[in-house]
């Protein structure tokens, strides 16, 4: 299933926004390294903080058995990745967590393997914070000289990855901005 975006007005222009709600949960899936023999475990829940709805990814990440991830992932398809001659420039999240570093993994129509993706990281502190991740900061795992173009994005994931730790990250807003 693909994310369903709504257009929201921002200070500069309209952004593409994905609100977390009971209806939007069907567009996301939880995946762990157990699909490839790892032992990490976790879950995703849709929770409420006053009027704020958010997705919460929790669990234990373990690098045993060549593992090391849990994630919340969805397919993405933009009707247009450009507006008035401007391409989407990045992703904006409203996040909170347990002070750990988390990742955004983006796969495109150019990334063929599960281990080939673009990534950027962010710290999820205990209070809600807006995090902007420009696409120019995303690095491709398998190619050093590759640029992430928004029109090629196919999947988007919030990922606890790469080391042994307890994950607890919440995301209330996901926007792609121009």
| Tens-digit pLDDT profile for residues 92-117 | 999 999 999 999 999 998 887 888 99
pLDDT of 11 above 50? no
* Residue 158 counted as domain residue: yes
As a whole-number percent, the residues of the chain with pLDDT over 70 amount to: 89
* Residue 121 counted as domain residue: yes
Number of domains in the chain: 1
Radius of gyration, alpha carbons of the chain: 16
CA pair distance 158, 98, nearest whole angstrom? 15
Residue 30 is part of a domain; what is its CATH number?
Answer: 2.60.120.430
* Residue 38 counted as domain residue: yes
What is the band of 86 on the pLDDT scale with cuts at 50, 70, 90? Answer: confident
Q: Which helix (H) or strand (E) holds 58?
A: strand 52-61
Q: Return the C-alpha torsion angle 156, 140, 15, 56, nearest 10.
A: 40
Q: Taking phi first (over 0 means left), then psi (-120 to 50 degrees means alpha), and beta for anything else, what does residue 68 get?
A: left
Single out the residue of 2, 10, 3 nearest to residue 177, CA to CA.
10
pTM as predicted: 0.89
pLDDT score, position 79: 63
Q: Which domain does 113 fall in, by range?
A: 6-177
Q: Which two tokens stand for residue 135?
A: 């696409």
* Residue 1 counted as domain residue: no
What is the band of 13 on the pLDDT scale with cuts at 50, 70, 90? Answer: low
């Amino acid at each position: 299933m693909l994310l369903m975006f709504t257009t929201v007005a921002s200070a500069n222009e309209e952004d593409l926004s994905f609100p977390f709600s009971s209806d939007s949960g069907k567009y996301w899936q939880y995946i762990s390294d157990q699909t490839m023999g790892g032992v990490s475990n976790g879950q995703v829940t849709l929770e409420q903080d006053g009027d704020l709805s958010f997705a919460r990814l929790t669990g234990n990440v373990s690098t045993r058995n060549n593992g090391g991830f849990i994630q919340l992932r969805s397919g993405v398809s933009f009707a247009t990745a450009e507006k008035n001659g401007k391409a989407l420039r990045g992703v904006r999240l409203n996040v909170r967590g347990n002070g750990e570093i988390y990742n955004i993994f983006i796969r495109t129509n150019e990334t063929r393997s599960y281990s080939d993706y673009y990534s950027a990281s962010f710290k999820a502190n205990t209070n809600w914070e807006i995090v902007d991740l420009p696409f120019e900061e995303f690095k491709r795992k398998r190619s050093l000289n590759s640029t992430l173009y928004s029109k090629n994005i196919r999947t988007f994931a919030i990922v606890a990855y790469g080391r042994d730790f307890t994950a607890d990250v919440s995301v209330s807003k996901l926007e792609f901005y121009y």
